[in-house]
Amino acid sequence: DLFEEGSITNVLTSLVGNVFGFKALRHLRLEDIRFPLAFIKTCMGPPNGIQVERDRMNKYGRPLLGCTIKPKLGLSGKNYGRVVYECLRGGLDFTKDDENNNSQPFQRWQNRFEFVAEAVKLAEQETGEKKGHYLNCTAATPEEMYERAEFAKELGQPIIMHDYITGGFTANTGLAKWCRKNGILLHIHRAMHAVIDRHPKHGIHFRVLAKCLRLSGGDQLHTGTVVGKLEGEIINSQPFQRWQNRFEFVAEAVKLAEQETGEKKGHYLNCTAATPEEMYERAEFAKELGQPIIMHDYITGGFTANTGLAKWCRKNGILLHIHRAMHAVIDRHPKHGIHFRVLAKCLRLSGGDQLHTGTVVGKLEGE
């Protein structure tokens, strides 16, 4: 009852949101986690699964062979498509976008998607085999992410891709549900994982991140290679207190306090949720109740969801308070990770009117 059903965002916020920042602890590492079966049943899991992928590709009895297109950045859409064609024509089953290939000025995503679809189709015609390319749908907002996924579907592509740590579990769960509904395979990249899992004495082991992804949703997970350059607190909507129920009673309490004091009052209603759709639903309900401010966990929820919510807030005239749950997993260790000033600057660009920064004294460590 302590966790919102189907929300990995809420689980991480609750389990690792603040404890890594306690000043009494010098090091802390989450090595493994076992989820109760009752919670697992509320999560969707992989949209399709391995067998569906093999059936769709008509390839059995061997590993599927693919590669990432290089150079990762800088090619025009046309030249990028040419490289995809040459790889698939040469015998690969799949090619994929690099994790940071989103929609830069030298290669807008629509242009890349169209040339890639053309390359895949030509390679299939010449080889007589089913081919595919992992089109990266990671974007600044959930709306843009879904737009890219829809366009990939219109082009007849069998698989898309998402950066689940930088994009966030909220966006990832929403995209996984979309993929299941639309029959599209979902490849997951783990960009930024090493900030969290690399240090042996601090952070979260990758097996935990992988288990969380398994519940959030993904048919494939990028795990690195055996050899190479890479080394192998907040209430949301738990059974004891559903968000609608909390929002309504809070709105009633705020209104009563305003009437009795003659002052304007407010409450930071936490709209962090398992998917972007649920997040926006909560924000809309807060607006309907006349509440002036809402709240979001921008690290566990992810920058994609946060940027989308910030744009919604600007459009609807709602203030946005940002909580930093799970920040200490990333910024606590003095020799590894990302300093909180960087996370704060990224939040400044993503969007937020207020940022929870902890206290000068108290249970949490501070500078």
pLDDT tens, the chain, 367 aa long? 889 999 999 999 999 988 998 888 889 999 999 999 999 999 999 999 889 989 988 999 999 999 999 998 999 999 999 999 999 999 999 999 999 899 999 999 999 999 999 999 999 999 999 999 999 999 999 999 999 999 999 999 999 999 999 999 999 999 999 999 999 999 999 999 999 999 999 999 999 999 999 999 999 998 876 555 566 544 567 788 899 999 999 999 999 888 988 889 899 999 999 999 999 999 999 999 999 999 999 999 999 999 999 999 999 999 999 999 999 899 989 899 999 999 999 999 999 999 988 754 555 565 5
At residue 241, the pLDDT reads 85
Same topology, domains 8-221 and 243-355? Answer is yes
The answer to whether 70 is a known catalytic residue is: yes
When the candidates are 3.20.20.110, 3.50.50.60, 3.40.50.300, 3.40.50.720, the CATH number that belongs to 8-221 is: 3.20.20.110
So where are the chain's domains?
8-221, 243-355
Per-residue tokens: 107? 């290669």
Whole-model pTM?
Answer: 0.78
At residue 18, the pLDDT reads 85
Residue of 70, 181, 229, 264 marked catalytic: 70
At residue 23, the pLDDT reads 87
Q: Which residues fall within 8 angstroms of residue 166, CB to CB, at 6 or more apart? A: 138, 191, 192, 302, 303, 304
At residue 240, the pLDDT reads 80
| E strand intervals along the chain | 29-30, 66-68, 94-96, 132-136, 159-163, 185-189, 203-204, 220-221, 269-270, 293-297, 319-323, 354-355
Instruction: Determine the Cα–Cα distance for residues 142 and 303; give it in Å rounded to an integer.
Output: 10
Check if the beta carbon of residue 136 is closer than 8 Å to that of residue 97: yes
- In words, the CATH class of domain 243-355 is alpha beta
Check if the beta carbon of residue 134 is closer than 8 Å to that of residue 187: yes
**Distance spanning both ends of the chain, measured CA to CA:** 36
For 3, which DSSP code? S
Q: Taking the alpha carbons of 20, 273, 299, 192 in that order, is the dihedral positive or negative?
A: positive
Residue of 162, 187, 189, 327 marked catalytic: 189
